[in-house]
């Protein structure tokens, strides 16, 4: 029973929330046609003022535009409510205006009498000034900013999407985070587009306010003179004050809403709200405050000037400058400390033999904040993501990355080491962004020209304020942490075979043994030693084949190990078992496979070389040079056609050609006929000929 009651209450609350907007629209439309009592008009006008103040305060507390994504809709609804209130109040003013200045309620009377001192000439001037400020200054400027922001946001969308895809491919974010970021990019474009259109409502509201004021004054004079026999002075006073009060009570909330719109579209997204931005950007510069105080003090000493006001403000500026200076001195800049001298032990011990880290990352002292785990360094989180992505895609867990600072290298540099040997290095600039040219940029940017350390693409280091502009021009813009993480991910994938040591192989077999213990027990050590299994897996990784499908690999080794013990031959047999996965990794799910094939004469020569017992290193020099030259030409032609560079060979020749071409044409994949799964059609797009 209680469950039924709770469900009913929840359902009723959900229905009430979903019906709030339609009910609000219906009430607005009702105010256009139904007469309202003055008491209800007072409440609705007060609510309109409260709503505008609330919207302004929410706008001041936002940190980015999308924090108030409903603002365009709120702007439209508040404008409709003001116009409907104008219509309702106009009806009351024209029907009851002859009875006195309180005919349309106390709120309109207060705005028309007390705020302008009962002088309708002053009221008209104040009203016109408010309309001009709202219509020409605030609304027009906010509309222009929204229009330009919408245009730049749309232009920058491809670059932002590419940056998201790059982070996803590098393992820095998962699918859910990528989906959220893509949705945020689309919402940002929709928001500024909506704001561009919503600003037109405010401009129309200002024009409508002027027309309603004129209609109330002219209509009131006609009704007062002709229907109620009022004198011209009395009719002008009553109806003009009522019209002015009606106009002011609508235009002041409209002005507040317009200010909120301007604040939303004109701010730059940071981690601070608007008040924090203003204080940190304007009132935190002691030098500027001291100079301003000096100028005000000199002006305050001029005879005839309001000395007290100028000198008071000058003193306030000096106080702010002193406070800002003390705050900066309280937080001194961190200076890297000198390395502490090592105290030599009396006797050497095995503790002095430090093990070499399998994977290492050394950073200069300026990059320490990126890897400071205590300060939640972003690079530490991204390295964890790289290891997860590697394990998910390659098939085993790589060793942990040992991070340390190195005061001997450039402060902005980093080194990536494998078993103590440097395999990659680079330099990044903290506080700036790397704009990478993917090949389709529309213009160049000012900055420090360089190259992307991971892939060697041309790039330029830019300041943060140029980030959106760079994305709009087609650059892929990444921060320093992403640069290092992408480089590390690229090198770890390239050296996957070297990372698979005996310990990792044993851990991989132990992991498989949890789900299939009998499978592993029958293979190691009964049929094969763990070193042979490790060598087979390393051979696969050297040729870019993932080892995720360990069950198929173990099944093949179990089947072939009784008659084959050579790791090279076992690797070839495993590749055949993994053929569908290998082809899927290269081509995707297409049915037709465009490949490069060997000329029959060249194929015959290579078979003779193989039968003679020679390997790739002992190949006749003329034949080797011709093979290399023709293969490179065919590979370039295949890439120009937009096809993956794949060489299809007989089973016996595949290991020979794979070893020979691996260093000179690393992007070329060598497949054998046996590795192509059934159902796939071969299309030969290029032939590799023999020696000239």
pLDDT tens-place string over residues 562-615: 999 999 999 999 999 999 999 999 998 888 999 999 988 888 888 887 777 655
Task: Give the pLDDT band (50/70/90) at residue 490.
Answer: very high
Q: Taking 70 as the threshold, does the pLDDT of residue 374 lie above it?
A: no
Average pLDDT over residues 681-690: 85
Q: Which residues are CB-contacts of 93 (< 8 A; sequence separation ≥ 6)?
A: 103, 104, 108, 216, 220, 239, 242, 243, 246
**Buried/exposed 302-341: b ≥16 CB within 10 Å, e otherwise:** eeeeeeeebbebbeebbebbeebeeeeeeeeeeeeeeeee
Tell me if 97 sits within 8 A of 240, measured CB to CB.
no
CATH superfamily of the domain spanning 500-577: FHIPEP family, domain 3 (1.10.8.540)
- Which has the minimum average pLDDT: 261-265, 568-572, 636-640? 261-265
The reported pLDDT for the residue numbered 345 is: 47
Q: Taking 60 as the threshold, does the pLDDT of residue 13 lie above it?
A: no
The reported pLDDT for the residue numbered 273 is: 63
Tell me if 364 sits within 8 A of 412, measured CB to CB.
yes
Average pLDDT over residues 191-200: 70
pLDDT tens-place string over residues 155-187: 666 667 777 776 776 667 777 787 888 788 777
Cβ-based neighbour number of residue 195 at 10 Å = 23
The reported pLDDT for the residue numbered 675 is: 92
Q: Using CA atoms, how far apart are residues 570 and 557, in angstroms rounded to an integer?
A: 7
The reported pLDDT for the residue numbered 11 is: 44
3-state secondary structure 175-203: HHHHHHHHHHHHHHHHHHHHHHHHHHHHH
The reported pLDDT for the residue numbered 88 is: 81
The reported pLDDT for the residue numbered 112 is: 65
Sheet with 669-672: list strands edge to edge: 669-672, 646-649, 592-598, 681-688
Say whether 649 sits in a helix, a strand or coil: strand
Q: Taking 50 as the threshold, does the pLDDT of residue 338 lie above it?
A: no
The reported pLDDT for the residue numbered 15 is: 57
At what angle are helices 175-226 and 71-96 packed, to 10 degrees? 10
Nearest to 570 by CA among 606, 542, 534: 534
* Phi, psi for 644 (deg, rounded to 5): -65, 135
Q: What region does 411 belong to: left with phi over 0, alpha with psi -120 to 50, or beta?
A: alpha
Cα diameter, the chain: 125
The reported pLDDT for the residue numbered 22 is: 77
Sheet with 458-462: list strands edge to edge: 448-451, 458-462, 433-436, 476-478
Q: Using CA atoms, how far apart are residues 659 and 69, in angstroms rounded to an integer?
A: 58
Retrieve residue 376's tokens: 């939640």
Q: Using CA atoms, how far apart are residues 196 and 152, in angstroms rounded to an integer?
A: 13
Retrieve residue 642's tokens: 């937009």
Strands 669-672 and 646-649: parallel
pLDDT tens-place string over residues 37-52: 777 877 887 888 888 8
Residue with more model confidence, 242 or 547: 547
* Contacts of the segment 275-284: beta carbons below 8 A, 24+ positions apart: 275/60, 283/320, 283/324, 284/324, 284/327
The verdict on whether omega for the bond into residue 525 sits within 30 degrees of 0, i.e. cis, is yes
Q: How far is CA 64 from CA 60, 68, 525, in A?
A: 10, 8, 61
Tell me if 470 sits within 8 A of 462, measured CB to CB.
yes
Cβ-based neighbour number of residue 394 at 10 Å = 20
Q: Taking 90 as the threshold, does the pLDDT of residue 252 lie above it?
A: no
Name the range with the highest mean pLDDT among 89-93, 229-233, 312-316, 395-399: 395-399
Q: Taking 50 as the threshold, does the pLDDT of residue 227 lie above it?
A: yes
Question: What is the residue whose two structure tokens read 């001997």?
Answer: 408
Q: Using CA atoms, how far apart are residues 433 and 465, in angstroms rounded to an integer?
A: 10
What residues does CATH 3.40.50.12790 cover in the chain?
590-692
pLDDT tens-place string over residues 457-467: 999 999 988 99
Say whether 461 sits in a helix, a strand or coil: strand
For the chain, what percent of residues have pLDDT higher than 90? 25
Q: Which residues are CB-contacts of 505 (< 8 A; sequence separation ≥ 6)?
A: 530, 533, 534, 537
Q: Using CA atoms, how far apart are residues 456 and 436, in angstroms rounded to an integer?
A: 10
Q: Using CA atoms, how far apart are residues 315 and 309, in angstroms rounded to an integer?
A: 10
Length of the chain: 692
Q: Using CA atoms, how far apart are residues 236 and 219, in angstroms rounded to an integer?
A: 11
DSSP-assigned letter for residue 576? H
For the chain, what percent of residues have pLDDT higher than 70? 82
Say whether 299 sits in a helix, a strand or coil: helix
Beta strands in 166-238 (DSSP E): none
Average pLDDT over residues 245-272: 73
Retrieve residue 106's tokens: 């106390």
Cβ-based neighbour number of residue 99 at 10 Å = 11
- Which has the minimum average pLDDT: 83-92, 404-413, 667-676? 83-92
What residues does CATH 3.40.30.60 cover in the chain?
355-494
The H or E element containing residue 530 is helix 530-542
Q: Using CA atoms, how far apart are residues 318 and 323, in angstroms rounded to an integer?
A: 9
Determine whether 590 is exposed, middle or buried from the number of CB atoms within 10 Å of its CB (0-12, 13-18, 19+). exposed
Q: List residues bridging with 403 in a β-sheet.
A: 361
Retrieve residue 72's tokens: 């365009």
The reported pLDDT for the residue numbered 6 is: 52
Question: What is the residue whose two structure tokens read 């009395």?
Answer: 234
Instruction: Identify the architecture of domain 590-692 in CATH.
Output: 3-Layer(aba) Sandwich (3.40)
Q: Using CA atoms, how far apart are residues 335 and 676, in angstroms rounded to an integer?
A: 60
What residues does CATH 1.10.8.540 cover in the chain?
500-577
Q: Which residues are CB-contacts of 573 (< 8 A; sequence separation ≥ 6)?
A: 556, 560, 564
The reported pLDDT for the residue numbered 484 is: 93
Mean pLDDT of the chain: 80
Average pLDDT over residues 612-624: 67
Q: Taking 70 as the threshold, does the pLDDT of residue 114 lie above it?
A: no
Cα 281 to the chain's mean position, in Å? 25
Q: How far is CA 551 from CA 22, 579, 585, in A?
A: 59, 14, 18
Task: Give the pLDDT band (50/70/90) at residue 278.
Answer: low
Strands 401-405 and 359-363: parallel
Average pLDDT over residues 476-488: 92
Q: Going by CATH, does the domain composed of 355-494 fall within 3.40.30.120? A: no
Question: What is the residue whose two structure tokens read 């609304």?
Answer: 139
Q: Which residues are CB-contacts of 465 (< 8 A; sequence separation ≥ 6)?
A: none
Average pLDDT over residues 473-480: 91
The reported pLDDT for the residue numbered 327 is: 67
């Amino acid at each position: 029973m209680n469950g039924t009651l709770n469900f009913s209450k929840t359902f009723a609350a959900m229905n009430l929330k979903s019906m709030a907007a339609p009910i609000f629209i219906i009430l607005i439309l009702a105010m256009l046609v139904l007469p309202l009592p003055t008491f209800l008009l007072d409440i609705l006008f007060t609510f309109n003022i409260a709503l505008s103040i609330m919207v302004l305060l929410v706008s001041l507390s936002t940190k980015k535009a999308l924090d108030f994504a409903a603002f365009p809709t709120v702007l439209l609804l508040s404008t409709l409510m003001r116009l409907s209130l104008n219509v309702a109040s106009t009806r009351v003013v024209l029907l009851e205006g002859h009875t006195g200045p309180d005919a349309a309620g106390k709120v309109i009377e207060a705005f028309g009498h007390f705020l302008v001192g009962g002088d309708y000439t002053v009221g008209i001037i104040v009203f016109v000034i408010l309309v001009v400020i709202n219509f020409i200054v605030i609304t027009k400027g906010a509309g222009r900013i929204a229009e330009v922001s919408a245009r730049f946001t749309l232009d920058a969308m491809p670059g932002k999407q590419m940056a998201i895809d790059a982070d996803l491919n590098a393992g820095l974010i998962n699918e859910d985070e990528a989906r959220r970021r893509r949705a945020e990019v689309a919402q940002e474009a929709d928001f500024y587009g909506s704001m561009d259109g919503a600003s037109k409502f405010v401009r129309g509201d200002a024009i409508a306010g002027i027309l309603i004021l004129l209609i109330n004054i002219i209509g009131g004079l006609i009704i007062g003179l002709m229907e109620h026999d009022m004198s011209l002075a009395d009719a002008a006073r009553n109806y003009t004050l009522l019209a002015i009060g009606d106009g002011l009570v609508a235009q002041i909330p409209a002005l507040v809403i317009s200010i909120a719109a301007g604040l939303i579209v004109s701010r730059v997204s940071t981690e601070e709200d608007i008040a924090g931005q203003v204080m940190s950007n304007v009132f935190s510069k002691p030098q500027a405050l001291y100079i301003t105080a000096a100028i005000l003090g000199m002006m305050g000493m001029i005879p005839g000037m309001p000395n007290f006001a100028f000198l008071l403000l000058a003193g306030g500026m000096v106080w702010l400058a002193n406070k800002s200076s003390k705050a900066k001195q309280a937080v001194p800049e961190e200076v890297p400390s000198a390395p502490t001298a090592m105290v030599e032990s009396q006797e050497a011990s095995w503790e002095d033999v430090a093990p070499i880290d399998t994977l290492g990352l050394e950073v200069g002292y300026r990059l320490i904040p990126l890897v400071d785990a205590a300060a939640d360094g972003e690079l530490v989180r991204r390295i964890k993501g790289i290891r997860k992505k590697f394990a998910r895609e390659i098939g085993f867990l790589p060793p942990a990355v040992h991070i340390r600072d190195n005061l001997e290298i450039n402060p902005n540099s980093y080194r990536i080491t494998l078993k103590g040997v440097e395999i990659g290095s680079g330099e990044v600039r903290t506080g700036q962004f790397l704009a990478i040219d993917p090949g389709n940029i529309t213009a160049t940017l000012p900055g420090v020209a360089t190259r992307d350390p991971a892939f060697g693409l041309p790039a330029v280091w830019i300041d943060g304020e140029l980030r959106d502009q760079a994305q709009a021009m087609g650059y892929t813009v990444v921060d320093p942490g992403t640069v290092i993480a992408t480089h590390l991910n690229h090198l770890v994938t390239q050296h996957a075979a070297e990372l698979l040591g005996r310990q990792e192989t044993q851990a991989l077999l132990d992991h498989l043994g949890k789900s299939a213990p009998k499978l592993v027990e029958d293979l190691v050590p009964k049929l094969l030693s763990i070193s042979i299994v490790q060598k087979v897996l390393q051979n696969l990784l050297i040729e870019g084949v993932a080892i995720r499908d360990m069950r198929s690999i173990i099944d093949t080794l179990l089947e072939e190990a009784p008659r084959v013990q050579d790791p090279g031959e076992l690797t070839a047999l495993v590749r055949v078992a993994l053929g569908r996965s290998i082809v899927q990794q290269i081509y995707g799910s297409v049915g037709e496979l465009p490949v490069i094939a060997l000329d029959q004469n060249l194929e015959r020569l290579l078979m003779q070389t193989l039968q003679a017992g020679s390997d790739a290193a002992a190949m006749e020099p003329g034949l080797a040079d011709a093979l290399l030259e023709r293969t490179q030409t065919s590979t370039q032609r295949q890439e120009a056609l937009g096809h993956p560079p794949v060489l299809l060979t007989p089973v016996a020749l595949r290991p020979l050609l794979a070893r020979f071409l691996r260093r000179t044409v690393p992007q070329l994949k060598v497949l054998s006929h046996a590795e192509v799964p059934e159902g796939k059609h071969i299309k030969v797009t290029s032939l590799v000929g023999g020696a000239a």
